[in-house]
Amino acid sequence: MSIASINGVEIYYETYGEGFPIIFSHEFAGDSQSWMPQVNYFSRKYKVITYNDRGYPPSSVPEGDDNYSQEKSLEDLHGLLNYLDIKEAYIAGLSMGGGLAVSFGIKYPQIAKALIIAGAGSGSDNSDNWKESVNNQASLMEKDFTSWADSYANGPQRLQYKSKDPKGWNIFRDALVNHSPLGSANTFKNVQGKRKTIYELEKEIEKIDIPSLIIVGDEDEPCINPGIFLKNKMKNAGLVFVPKTGHTVNLEEPSLFNQLIDEFLSKVENNTW
């Protein structure tokens, strides 16, 4: 088990392969294991790093709202790259991790050679309703996490995965059920619920000129408008909608997802993006 002590917490991480590094940041309902289709594919020619955010065992699960925020997640990612002595990397993320990739591109453009932003921006539309929903969801997690997790895994942007790949969805659902209730509730309240929306980051996003690929499932309704907004505001971004696909795009359509990223990175490396 690989553990890095960063910013007062322990961060669990895994590395595979050799070559230029690409680091994958997971979604709220996932963890480092959510990226296995990408690890299996990209570790053949890249150094692939996955990790668990704080709040996701075996990473530390600190108590208290003050120990969780978008800024702390960003500095954990930056700290992990420093710990691994990585000066430049491709930064990839899904959902919560996709928003983190955007924030990383804003604050650390000298490190991010390219950004892969998938399913980012939940809560940007109807943000007041979103914040109320976040607090309600966190309360449910604290009362009966197993029931909450089962309901969340059956949400409207998750049923596409369940329909396409029942076995894969079961693995996803079972992993979610075994997450830390404390870590999940604190992450949901203080990262998801308090981060700036994609629209509130407009001025910062307009300054990003890093080669970027935005990927959104066309049935992932909360992320469609934010994905278009990112495409329109970022100077060097491309946008792909994956058909008949919900939120868990990297697991629902792993072959297409990997192909899109592979072709994007090839263009970045050949200066043809």
- Please name each of the domains of the chain with its CATH number: 2-269 (3.40.50.1820)
pLDDT band at 132 (very low <50, low <70, confident <90, very high): confident
What is residue 126's predicted lDDT score, i.e. its pLDDT?
86
Q: Whole-angstrom Cα distance, residue 118 to residue 214?
A: 6
Given a cut of 80, is residue 74 above it in pLDDT? yes
Token representation of residue 125: 């539309």
pTM above 0.85, yes or no: yes
Using alpha carbons, select from 189, 155, 156, 149 the residue that is nearest to residue 31.
Answer: 149
Residue 33 is given by DSSP the state G
- Per the listing, tokens 């979610």 go with 176
- Whether pLDDT at 1 is above 80: no
The whole-angstrom separation of Cα 158 and Cα 248 is 7
Mean pLDDT of 135-151: 94
pLDDT in tens, 208-243: 999 999 999 999 999 999 999 999 999 999 999 999
At residue 117, the pLDDT reads 98
- The pair of structure tokens assigned to 156 is 């409207």
Alpha helix stretches (DSSP H) within 43-95? 70-83
